[in-house]
Each structure stands twice: as structure tokens, then as C-alpha cells.
A and B are shown apart, each in its own frame.
Chain A
Amino acid sequence: MVRNPSANRDQFRPDDHPNDAFLLTTVVGSYPKPKWLNRADELVDDPDSKFDESDLEEAHDDACRLITHEHERAGLDTVVDGEMRRNEMVEFFADRIDGYEFNGPVKVWGHNYFDKPSVVEEVAYDEPWLVDEFEFTSNVAERPVKVPITGPYTLGFWAFNEAYPSTEELVYDLADLVNEEVEKLVEAGARYIQIDEPALATTPEDHAIVGEALERIVSGIDEDVRIGLHVCYGDYSRIYPEINDYPIDEFDVELCNGDFEQIPTFTDPEFEPDLALGVVDAHTAEVEPVEEIKANIRQGLRVVPPENLTISPDCGLKLLPRDIAYGKTENMVTAVREVEAEIDAGDIDLDNPLADD
């Protein structure tokens, strides 16, 4: 069953928040890397270059600082470092978890490949995966930091399983490791964790496996820690209303990409966790005007009241040009603050939020 989102939401409300209404603004996580960082990644592999691992670490630190501040400049209530240290959402974690090995890239489509790892023995926890990253970002940020973690279902099903009798069993072992990591992050001060499960969108019939994995992930995690789940574009009717049973505070969806056609799915039965709604498209390279984003935000009010609505982009923005990613984020925050003011003024009918005022 749903955790207690109202027990942890207020801590993300800035002291100088201008409106009574508060729609929490956040991002899904990834952000375009500055071109120099990609160059730096290549340079460290070049044997003729003097650029070494410690130089790369400095470059990563600089990039994380830069993007965290870029998020703050856009006005977000909660920020991420843009995942500047991460290469790919499965590879990054598989590299840190004992039991995985890499054999080389495999095709996803066309000439797009992914270094799909193999699980060759029981998975185990070694060093913390994200604690250093969180501590660094937290130290340079003035706003609370959200930590995205690839979920155990995706870490299991987007790998080759050589070692477990069923991938479901692998997923549960991985969920225990994610739980260990979340505990360490919480110890380090993290209060906002997002579990990313894009693989669920492709196999919605496995929603019960994800549910069981989430139970393991949140075991022993206090309710002042906000646990979100992000599942990108798919047929949400196949996992709703089942997600109402998930032990999460917030469910983050990608609906802008589909013109919010799936919003009615979430209206019956009543949506139980907080809704984190994607209101700018992560796959179009045009910045949506503020007015358009405001109309998108109102779609979320059809599902939940303002105090249960979080606003984010549809998905990670890493594939966009950086200025477009920034423009979308900045316009998103502007739109949210304007909608909040309109709610305060009674200009939006919360029972019929799409109606013209």
C-alpha cells in the first residue's frame, strides 16, 4: 500500500515559496552533458594524453556543480546533478554490483547499442554506489537533492541472466541491494529517492514482481524519506490501478509525449500516491511556451489535488541540446508558479481544472 506522501512533502517547500499552493517541481534525472565532458571521457582513454583519472574526476565534479546550479537557476524546488558521472542507466550500476560482467555491446535498434551485462553469479553489495555522488551534490546545492536509482526490475531484465533459475529471483536479490544503498543514502542525508523502472513499460504483466521488489526496497525506510517510482512511456492502463498498491510516495509518468490521452486511466479508481506529471516532452527539441505547459499542468489536477501534484519533465532530458533542456526546465517552473498563483486566486476550478476561467 501507498506510503505517506504528506509526511515528507513539506520539507521540499522552499522557505521563500511565493504562493500558498505548492506544486513540487523536480526533474527525472539525466541532463545533457557539456560537450567538454564527453571530450574528457574520451581523453582519459587516450594513451598519448596526459589527462588522467584524477583529471576526469575533477571534470565530473565541475560538471555536477555546473548542472546542479543550472537546475537551481531554473528555479527547481529539488535538484539532481544531471547524472553527469553516469554513462548508461544499467551499465553504471552493473559496474558497481558484484556478480555482473560485460562482454560487449548489443544492438537495441539500428546502430544504437548498449553494453548489456551478464549476471554470472549471485549479485552482492560491495562499495556504495551513489553515496559519494550524493554527498558532493548535496554540498554544492542550496535546494534538496533527489537521487535517481535504476530499479531492480530493469537491472535484472535488461541484463543476461546466466546465474539465477529465474530472472524474478535475480530481481529480488537486486532489490535487497537497492534497499542497502537507499539506507546508506538516507544515512548520508538523502530524503528524496526515485526508482527508475523503464523495463516495466515493456512488460506490464510483471507489475507484481515490481511491487514485491519495491516492498524490499522500502523495508525499514522511514516515512520522512520520499520514494518515487518513474516508469516511462507505455500503456499505463496495464499497470493501473495495481500501482495504487505499491509502497511508494509518488508515481512519475511520461504523458506529455502522448498528449495526455492516458490521463483518464488514472481517474478511476482514485489515484493514491502523489502524481508526478511530465509536462514537457523529453523527445522534441522545441521549448514549449509557458501557456502550453500551464495547460499540461492542469491535466494533472484532473487526477490529484494541488497538494498531491509534483511537476517534472516527461523523462530524463539528456538527449536534448543543453539550451533546449534548460529552456524547458525554466519554462516549466515559471508555468508551475503561475498555476499556483491562479489556484491561490481561485481562478482554477479544481473540480473541473480544464475549464476556462
Chain B
Amino acid sequence: MTERVAATPGLYPLPDRAKETLSDLKGHQKGDLLSGDESEAIVAAYDEVRAEYVDDQLDAGLDLISEGQGRWDDMIAHPLTVSDAVETGGIVRYYDNNNFYRDPRVVDDLDFSGDVAGELEKATDLLADADGVDDASLAATLPGPYSLADLATDEHRGDEADFQAAIAEFLAGEVEAFPDHETLFLLEPSLITNPPAEGEEAGATDAISTVADATDADVVVQTFYGALGEKLYAHLVDEAGADALGLDLVAGDRDDTVYNVQEFGSTDSLSLGLVDGQNTLVEEPETIAERVEWFESQIPLEGFDRTYLTPNTELFYLPTNKCRAKLNALADAAEVLD
């Protein structure tokens, strides 16, 4: 029987109070954003934020708990913007959104940083101290290597394939330092917005499998902002080393996605982006549950393992009240399906 798991790919909006506290502590300018060596006061403020994220997710009843990535000022480019081998350039557009991040210009060999592992250690401690969390475990989040290379500027290697492989090795090194986690979400929106050229899919799938191989956890390769092209989809199913491919059922053309699944099969598990991470309209749990059942009925695979019920994108686009409401809706949908 298929197991349904309510989870999120992370990157939560800062609670409103923390928005004020942290902008007072850090400032509003480009140079004030996080560099990985923040003061004690800032560390303490983020500790509070993290605890609030964990509580919110436990209260909602999610099956997998995210650290929430409150520190990720530059969204999924964060693991690079705190690296010593990176100089941050101008403010550039984050995909097709009215959001911006600092362009990470990689100017040297990327060494291990341990920044994300440090966050996850703290989340692990919070989970260990929380009451009644026997069935909730940690989900880690990282950018996928394809997207991270796409968001960054290479000023060191001078070769695209080489740069992508170096980013993958860097991320794999970070993953190896992670504390125990049940699932690793690798966020790969660039596979949709700027897909590899035909015939060059292997570079992307090799990079993803390099990172996936660095953990024993289930790896979800979460794609979003639309539907995958069919060839790329087939390559990802077969070659990325993912336990689950994440499919955006909100922004993407659902017919395209269903066609891909029917034509090319699927990973043993799937992550379904069911709740709109970019709109405040809160979905009804019953509606979400219906979407899950409908989609599962399209999958030809026997013995399908697990369905992750997730928002289609990161959650930082939302005001905090709506983000919380959506966490509740996801968890309730999983209950409806049980």
C-alpha cells in the first residue's frame, strides 16, 4: 500500500516579529545580508525562528519536519553565498519572481563549509526535545546542483560541465556532514526554467546522482514552476539516483505531467506539488486528497511506494498566516487519505 507523507521543501517565510528583529540587527542593504559568521544576537534570533518553524510543523501534524531555512537570505543560492570561495555580486532576479538574491560569483575552489549541517544539527536537537514526535523525522533541504550552478556565476573554472560537477561535489560534501535525516529534498527549479539542451541531460543527472549518493536518506528531486519536458523527465527517472521525483501539479500543465508518468513510468515514490506556494488561497484538505488519488490512479507502476504531499514551491513567497494554514491543509489531507 502506498504511504502518504505530508512534507515541505522548506524555505519558510520569517515570522513577522523576526522580520523586524532581524532587519534591525542586520540592516536592509546588500552588504548586510548573511555571510555565515553572524553575531551572537543574530544567531539567537534565528534559533528562535527555527524553534517556531519546528513547532508550527509539529502542531500542523506534518510527517517530515524541515529546518525551515530562515537564514537563507539568498533563497536556494544560500549554500554558495556563505562560502569563502564566493564573492557576492549584484542583486539579480530569482527566477520569474519579484524576488532577488545576490549573484554568487564563484572565484575559487569550493571547500567544505558545514553551514547547512550546522542548521540541521540544531533542528535535530529541537526535534529530540519536543514532546510526542515519535513519528516525525527530519527532512533536509538543499538546492540541486543543476539549479545552483544555474543561479551562480563561474569565474574560476571556465567550463560549464566542469563547474556543474564541482558544485555537485561541493553539495555532496555538505550532505556527508548532515546529521541523520529521513529525506533530502534537492530543489531543482532550473530543470524547468532553463533545462539542459537535448543530448546534455546526462551532465545534470550525473550531478544530481553525485549529491544523492552522498546520503542514505530518501532523495526527492523537487522540480517546480511548471512541467518537465518528456525527454528530461525520462532521464531523471532513470539516471538521477532519486527515490522520488517532485512534480509541480499547480504551475505545470497537469496533462503533460500525467503523460510523462504514463509514458515513461516513475521513480518508486513521487512528490506531488499540490498546494500553491505562491498564492494565499488556502486549499481544502479534501481537494488536496482528491488530487492525490486522481494522480495516483494515473500511475501505471505496481507497488508504488510513497507519495509526498507538498507545496509546489518553497514557502517564503507567502505571508506567515497563510503559510501556516497551508501546512495544516497538507497534514489534514494526509489524514483524510489514511
Chain A interface residues toward B at CB < 8 A: 103-113, 116, 118, 158, 160-162, 199, 202-203
CB distance from B263 to the nearest CB of A (A): 29
| Given A112-B28, A162-B279, A162-B280, CB of A103 within 8 Å of CB of B99 | no
Q: B322 at the A/B interface (Cβ < 8 Å)?
A: yes
Q: Are A110 and B33 in contact (CB-based, < 8 A)? A: yes
Q: How far is the CA of A105 from the CA of B280 in the complex (A)?
A: 12
A104 in contact with B16 given A110-B32, A162-B281 (CB within 8 Å): yes
Q: Can you list 24 A-B contacts with CB-CB less than 8 angstroms, sorted by A residue number?
A: A103-B322, A104-B16, A104-B320, A104-B321, A105-B319, A106-B13, A106-B317, A107-B317, A109-B91, A109-B99, A110-B28, A110-B73, A111-B23, A111-B28, A111-B73, A113-B19, A116-B319, A118-B280, A118-B281, A160-B278, A160-B279, A161-B279, A162-B281, A202-B96
Q: Bound complex: CA of A111 vs CA of B320, how far in Å?
A: 15
Chain B residue nearest in CB terms to A113: B19
Is B101 among interface residues, defined by CB-CB distance under 8 A?
yes
- Chain B, Cβ-Cβ closest to A158: B98
Query: Cβ of B156 < 8 Å from any Cβ of A?
Result: no
- The 8 Å CB contact of A103, one of B23, B94, B100, B321, is B321
CB distance from A16 to the nearest CB of B (A): 44
Q: In the complex the two chains form, what is the Cα distance from A199 to B14 in whole Å? A: 25
User: Does A108 lie within 8 Å of B98, measured CB to CB?
Assistant: yes
Q: A160 contacts B281, CB within 8 Å? A: yes
> Which residues of B are found within 8 Å of A108, using beta-carbon distances?
98-100
Q: Which residues of B contact A111 (CB under 8 A)?
A: 19, 22-23, 26-28, 32-33, 73
- Which A residues touch B316, using CB under 8 A? 106-107
Question: Do B279 and A110 touch (CB < 8 A)?
Answer: no
Q: Indicate with 1 or 0, residue by residue over B8-37, a CB within 8 angstroms of chain A CB atoms.
A: 000001101001001100111110110000
The DSSP consensus for interface residues of chain A is: mixed
Asked whether B318 is an interface residue with its Cβ less than 8 Å from the other chain, the reply is: yes
Known: A107-B317, A118-B281. 16 other contacts (CB 8 A): A103-B321, A106-B316, A106-B317, A106-B318, A106-B319, A107-B13, A107-B316, A108-B100, A110-B30, A110-B73, A111-B22, A111-B26, A112-B28, A160-B280, A162-B281, A199-B98
- CB-nearest residue of chain B to A112: B28
Nearest-CB distance from A122 to chain B (Å)? 15
The interface residues of chain B lying within 8 Å CB-to-CB of A161 are 279
Closest to B322 in A: A103
B residues with CB within 8 A of A: 13-14, 16, 19, 22-23, 26-30, 32-33, 73, 91, 93-94, 96, 98-101, 278-281, 316-322
Alpha-carbon distance between A109 and B77 when the two chains are bound, in angstroms: 13
What residues of B have a CB within 8 angstroms of the CB of A116 in the complex? 319
Residues of B contacting A160 with CB < 8 Å? 278-281
Closest-CB distance, B182 to chain A (whole angstroms): 28
Chain B residues near A110 (CB-CB < 8 A): 28-30, 32-33, 73
Known contacts: A110-B73, A111-B19. The answer to whether A203 contacts B27 by CB under 8 A is no
CB < 8 Å neighbour of B93 from A103, A104, A202 = A202
Q: What 4 pairs between A and B have smallest CB-CB spacing?
A: A111-B23, A104-B319, A109-B100, A103-B319
CB of B30 to closest CB in A, whole Å: 7
Whose C-beta in chain B lies nearest to the C-beta of A198? B98
A158: chain B residues at CB < 8 Å are: 98
Contacts of A112 in B (CB 8 A): 28
Contact A103 B280 (CB under 8 A): yes
List B contacts of A105 (CB < 8 A): 16, 19, 319
**A138 nearest CB across to chain B (Å):** 33
- Cross-interface CB contact of B99 among A107, A118, A162, A203, cutoff 8 Å: A107
Q: Which B-chain residue is minimally distant from A161 (CB atoms)?
A: B279
